[in-house]
């Protein structure tokens, strides 16, 4: 056989695996159906700005090993994510912190804010869904103004049908701190994610515009082991049923002004605005200092969330009970596939952050590559 590993998908999981295999002296072939590498991390330069073509990605981690690993391929800037929420023209700080509480209730001290939340907590039992979890964490006002509309647009489902864990991604803190992530390390790779993944794939053979599922038989005897990072249900021709995903469509605009919204991320948390958020890409890279001001234009993306259907790009797995159960059945099938392993957000049907993908790929590589 020509290769030790056939890696299907040139996204983050595939790139880490390919890098690890190559480093250990194995021959890997990476294929991807898109014309570009880096999966949904792909960034494209427009008007001097690295535009996150498949949605904003902000790297953050508490994992020393992951940070040590990824910084071999890029230098990260000091970007700190501090999105703001626009609720019917009112601006609130995110994540939920003392600035948010002050704006909502005029509370000054943590004690006052805690009291206010306490008085709005109608849910005391173990939360069964995202709605109950939110009210338990931050009370009714925040749930109604900053969570409900956004979440229902993003997921196309009522908050009472969604799993509680999704809202636990957001910190709630009683300090004046708008940093969205509780992570020791955070930033955006200087020069863009594409460049970072290019570096990871240095010395690895990559074939783009190559659809594995449509040409499976051509790849049957090409490698000893296959690493598949596409949707697990698609691999099995959806024979047990369709796993649900959310897809995102972006409306990109190049504007003849240097500053559109003064921040990289503005979430529109009401129900009526059709998009969930507007990303102004230049602020990921240039901060709000002098360097960004030299660019006369700006690029913005409005994000619209839809239910995925065959042919769309899958972005978010819908990890509710029904889908997780179906995934478990696919996983059993996957375990029976000879010399084939499944990884990444789509291969494992998991709402992974980038750092968890890297950690998992490193651990899997350790186990699989001999
Ligand atoms: N969320 C919200 N209001 C916001 C931002 C997020 O209610 O202004 C909820 C929403 O349910 C979302 C979840 O928090 O799906 C996780 O948000 P995160 O920013 O982690 O989503 P991602 O960046 O992965 O799209």
50 and 191 share a domain? Answer: yes
- pLDDT of res. 286: 73
Instruction: Please give the model's pTM, rounded to 2 decimal places.
Output: 0.96
Indicate whether 304 belongs to any domain: no
- Sign of the alpha-carbon dihedral angle for 82, 85, 91, 95: negative
89 and 163 share a domain? Answer: yes
- pLDDT of res. 290: 53
- pLDDT of res. 26: 98
Determine if ligand 1 sits within 6 Å of the CB of residue 269: yes
User: 83 and 92 in contact (C-beta within 8 Å)?
Assistant: no
Distance of alpha carbon 346 from alpha carbon 229, whole angstroms: 6
Residue nearest to atom 10 of ligand 1 (CA): 151
CATH code at 191? 3.40.50.720
Indicate whether 54 belongs to any domain: yes
Determine if ligand 1 sits within 6 Å of the CB of residue 279: no
- Sign of the alpha-carbon dihedral angle for 229, 234, 237, 239: positive
Decide if 270 is catalytic.
no
Q: Which of 277, 315, 327, 349 is catalytic?
A: 277
Residues of the chain with pLDDT under 70: 123-124, 287-293
Query: Measured from the CA of 351, which atom of ligand 1 is nearest?
Result: 24
User: 228 and 32 in contact (C-beta within 8 Å)?
Assistant: no
Judged on CB neighbours under 10 Å (0-12, 13-18, 19+), 103 is middle
User: 77 and 187 in contact (C-beta within 8 Å)?
Assistant: yes
Q: Which of 233, 303, 355, 359 is catalytic?
A: 303
Distance of alpha carbon 38 from alpha carbon 252, whole angstroms: 20
Question: For the chain, how many structural domains are there in total?
Answer: 2
Determine if ligand 1 sits within 6 Å of the CB of residue 166: yes
- pLDDT of res. 152: 97
218 and 101 share a domain? Answer: no
Determine if ligand 1 sits within 6 Å of the CB of residue 276: no
Q: What's the distance, CA 323 to chain centroid?
A: 19
Indicate whether 11 belongs to any domain: yes
Indicate whether 251 belongs to any domain: no
Q: In 3-state terms, what secondary structure has residue 280?
A: strand
Pocket test for ligand 1, best of 169, 248, 306, 357 (most atoms within 8 A of CB): 169
Residue 21 structural domain: 3-77+186-240+318-369
Distances (CA, A) of 189 to 57, 71, 78, 186, 284: 10, 9, 9, 10, 10
Q: Across the strands, what pairs with 228?
A: 8, 342
Q: Which of 102, 219, 304, 351 is catalytic?
A: 351
Indicate whether 284 belongs to any domain: no
Determine if ligand 1 sits within 6 Å of the CB of residue 167: yes
32 and 152 share a domain? Answer: no
89 and 160 share a domain? Answer: yes
Q: Which residues contact 287 (CB under 8 A, 6 or more apart)?
A: 77, 78, 79
349 and 326 share a domain? Answer: yes
Distances (CA, A) of 264 to 31, 90, 198, 315: 32, 17, 25, 20
Indicate whether 64 belongs to any domain: yes
Residue at a domain's end among 167, 201, 227 = 167
Indicate whether 199 belongs to any domain: yes
Q: Which of 24, 64, 90, 169 is catalytic?
A: 169
72 and 92 share a domain? Answer: no
- pLDDT of res. 200: 98
Indicate whether 307 belongs to any domain: no
- pLDDT of res. 125: 81
- pLDDT of res. 308: 98
Distance of alpha carbon 339 from alpha carbon 24, whole angstroms: 18
Long-range contacts of 268-273 (CB under 8 A, 24+ apart): 268/85, 268/86, 268/87, 268/150, 269/85, 269/86, 269/87, 269/92, 269/145, 269/146, 269/147, 269/149, 269/150, 270/87, 270/88, 270/149, 271/148, 271/149, 271/152, 271/153, 272/149
Decide if 280 is catalytic.
no
Determine if ligand 1 sits within 6 Å of the CB of residue 129: no
Strand 90-93 to 84-87 pairing: antiparallel
Long-range contacts of 285-291 (CB under 8 A, 24+ apart): 285/49, 285/50, 285/77, 285/79, 285/188, 285/190, 287/77, 287/78, 287/79, 288/262
236 and 344 share a domain? Answer: yes
155 and 215 share a domain? Answer: no
């Amino acid at each position: 056989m020509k290769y030790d590993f056939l890696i299907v998908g040139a996204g983050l999981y595939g790139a880490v695996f390919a890098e690890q295999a190559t480093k250990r002296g194995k021959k890997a072939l990476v294929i991807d159906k898109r014309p570009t590498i880096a999966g949904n991390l792909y960034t494209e330069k427009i008007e001097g700005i690295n535009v996150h073509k498949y949605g904003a990605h902000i790297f953050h981690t508490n994992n020393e090993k992951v940070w040590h690993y990824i910084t071999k391929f890029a230098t990260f800037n000091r970007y700190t994510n501090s999105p703001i929420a626009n609720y019917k023209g009112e601006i609130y700080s995110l994540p939920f912190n003392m600035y948010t509480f002050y704006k909502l209730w005029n509370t000054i001290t943590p004690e006052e804010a805690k009291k206010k939340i306490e008085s709005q907590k109608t849910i005391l039992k173990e939360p069964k869904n995202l709605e109950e979890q939110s009210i338990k964490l931050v009370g009714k006002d925040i749930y109604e103004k900053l969570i409900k509309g956004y979440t229902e647009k993003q997921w196309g489902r009522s908050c009472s049908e969604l799993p509680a864990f999704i809202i636990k991604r957001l910190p709630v803190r009683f300090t004046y701190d708008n940093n969205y992530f509780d992570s020791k390390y955070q930033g955006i790779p200087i020069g863009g994610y594409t460049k970072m993944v290019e570096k990871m794939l240095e010395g690895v053979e990559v074939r783009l515009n190559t659809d594995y599922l449509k040409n499976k038989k051509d790849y049957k005897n090409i490698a000893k082991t296959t690493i598949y990072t596409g949707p697990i249900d698609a691999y099995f021709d959806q024979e047990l049923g369709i796993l649900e995903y959310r897809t995102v469509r972006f409306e990109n605009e190049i504007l003849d002004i240097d500053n559109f919204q003064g921040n990289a991320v503005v979430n529109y948390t009401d129900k009526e605005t059709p998009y969930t958020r507007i990303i102004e890409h230049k602020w990921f890279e240039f901060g709000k200092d002098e360097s960004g001001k030299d660019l006369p234009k700006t690029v913005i993306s409005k994000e619209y969330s839809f239910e995925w259907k065959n042919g769309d790009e899958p972005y978010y797995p819908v990890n509710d009970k029904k889908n997780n159960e179906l995934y478990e059945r696919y996983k059993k099938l996957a375990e029976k596939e000879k010399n084939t392993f499944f990884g990444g957000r789509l291969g494992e049907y998991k709402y992974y952050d980038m750092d968890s993908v890297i950690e998992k790929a490193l651990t899997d590589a350790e186990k699989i590559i001999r």
